[in-house]
């Protein structure tokens, strides 16, 4: 589908800044801000043991450590992973990013996991902690579904939320991937059609092997605590080259002399240069993280520190 451009609005309060310092700020603001405290800071657990629930639909065996791995590659009967570090430009124009080329024999080993194994709003954990809890071989941060109460959330074949609001990405159990309009379908229909996981952030970057126009003017959300995703930013995205051949890409940024980050069109160009037929933008900024064999691969904000998020997308092995 084509995403309708939305004019940029003035910068808003950072959502992570609100989560980190929001308790004191909102308390000082008085009872009138109690709604914001409840909406953006306090945990709202809707489903506990979410991974166990979704595991009922898992067809492939769990990763058991029988694959072979090096510092930048992994191989097993079900997956091969090659990770490359790419550096372009110099000085203030330097960009550093990481590409995980993933080939699987069964698409259902590409899975999602929730922070603290709980589904709900404002529940966060470091991507490495979530990855360790499910013994992920490779993981990237997901769409940070827990910051909002809209979107279609299907994870590992299980419906968790059905409130279409934006352009989504559907990963199918047959190893394909498609952009779709959440507002014209529902979670039950998607599952019936074979969808294994959905992601709800965006925008879509690549369709039919070409960068999508207008993505340099899109805002994903305009609600309190969110700001434009445009400009040179750290980014996380996923793409597909062919059936069961995926690309996980994480771009570092906001770090002078190390990596400035990339614009949305530049991010799309990275994917088209890698041969992606479809690609989709996920949560970025300080959330952008790639975990491989329990280690942080990239360097978030040039500080080497992860930031809590609500979910990951991972390869079980």
In percent, the amount of the chain with pLDDT more than 90 equals: 73
- pLDDT tens digit string along 41-99? 556 677 777 765 554 554 333 444 468 877 799 999 999 999 999 999 999 999 999 99
Is there a contact between 50 and 160 (Cβ–Cβ < 8 Å)?
Answer: yes
* DSSP, residue by residue, 185-197: --HHHHHHTTEEE
CA distances from residue 253 to 102, 115, 236, 304 in whole angstroms, order as listed? 23, 24, 11, 12
In this prediction, residues 169-174 reach a mean pLDDT of 98
Considering only 173-182, 191-200, 225-234, which range has the smallest mean pLDDT? 225-234
What CA–CA distance (Å, rounded) separates 36 from 285? 22
CA distances from residue 164 to 169, 182, 302 in whole angstroms, order as listed? 12, 4, 35
For 57-200, list the strands marked E by DSSP: 68-69, 73-75, 79-88, 95-104, 110-114, 118-121, 138-141, 151-155, 158-163, 167-172, 177-181, 195-199
49 DSSP assignment: S
173 DSSP assignment: T
Residue in 111, 110, 103, 108 with CA at minimum distance from that of residue 79: 103
Q: Using alpha carbons only, what angle is made at residue 120 by residues 158 and 302, rounded to the nearest 5 degrees?
A: 105
**How many beta carbons lie within 10 A of that of residue 60, not counting itself?**
17
Residue in 163, 154, 245 with CA at minimum distance from that of residue 192: 154
What residue spans of the chain are helical by DSSP H? 15-29, 34-40, 50-55, 127-133, 187-192, 264-273
Q: How much is the mean pLDDT over the chain? A: 86
pTM confidence score: 0.83
Considering only 20-24, 89-93, 161-165, which range has the smallest mean pLDDT? 20-24
At 140, the pLDDT band (50, 70, 90 cuts) reads: very high
Is there a contact between 276 and 128 (Cβ–Cβ < 8 Å)?
Answer: no
What CA–CA distance (Å, rounded) separates 34 from 25? 11
Is there a contact between 54 and 128 (Cβ–Cβ < 8 Å)?
Answer: no
Pairing relationship of beta strands 311-315 and 110-114 according to DSSP bridges: antiparallel
Residue 145 has pLDDT above 70, yes or no: yes
Is there a contact between 214 and 6 (Cβ–Cβ < 8 Å)?
Answer: no
Q: Pick the more confident residue, 2 or 297.
A: 297
Is there a contact between 168 and 189 (Cβ–Cβ < 8 Å)?
Answer: no
CB neighbour list of residue 71: distance below 8 Å, 6 or more residues apart: none
Q: Pick the more confident residue, 1 or 134.
A: 134
- Measured between alpha carbons, how far apart are the two ends of the chain, in Å? 32
What CA–CA distance (Å, rounded) separates 96 from 51? 33
Cα 260 to chain centroid, rounded = 20
Residue 317 has pLDDT above 80, yes or no: no
């Amino acid at each position: 589908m084509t995403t309708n451009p939305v004019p940029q609005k003035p910068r808003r309060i950072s959502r992570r800044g609100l989560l980190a310092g929001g308790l004191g700020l909102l308390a000082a603001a008085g009872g009138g801000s109690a709604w914001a405290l409840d909406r953006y800071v306090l945990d709202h657990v809707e489903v506990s043991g979410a991974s166990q629930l979704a595991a009922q639909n898992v067809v492939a065996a769990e990763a058991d450590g029988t694959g072979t791995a090096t510092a930048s590659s992994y191989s097993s009967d079900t997956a091969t992973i090659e990770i490359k570090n790419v550096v372009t430009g110099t000085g203030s124009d330097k960009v550093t990013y990481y590409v995980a080329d993933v080939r699987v024999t069964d698409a259902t080993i590409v899975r999602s996991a929730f922070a603290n194994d709980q589904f709900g709003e404002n529940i966060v954990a470091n991507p490495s902690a979530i990855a360790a809890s499910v013994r992920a071989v490779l993981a990237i941060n997901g769409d940070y579904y827990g910051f909002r109460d809209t979107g279609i959330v299907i994870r590992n074949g299980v419906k968790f939320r059905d409130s279409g609001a934006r352009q989504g990405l559907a990963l199918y159990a047959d190893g394909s991937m498609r952009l779709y309009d959440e507002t014209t379908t529902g979670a039950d229909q998607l599952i019936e059609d074979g969808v294994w996981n959905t992601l709800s952030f965006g925008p879509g970057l690549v369709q039919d092997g070409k960068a999508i126009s207008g993505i340099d003017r899109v805002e994903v959300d305009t609600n309190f605590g969110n700001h434009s995703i445009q400009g040179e930013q750290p980014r996380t995205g996923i793409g597909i080259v062919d059936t069961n051949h995926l690309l996980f890409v994480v771009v570092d940024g906001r770090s002078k002399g190390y990596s400035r980050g990339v614009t949305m069109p530049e991010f799309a160009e990275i994917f088209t240069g890698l041969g992606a037929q479809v690609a989709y933008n996920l949560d970025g900024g300080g959330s952008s993280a790639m975990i491989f064999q329990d280690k942080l691969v990239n360097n978030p904000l040039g500080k080497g520190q992860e930031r809590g998020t609500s979910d990951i997308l991972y390869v079980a092995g």
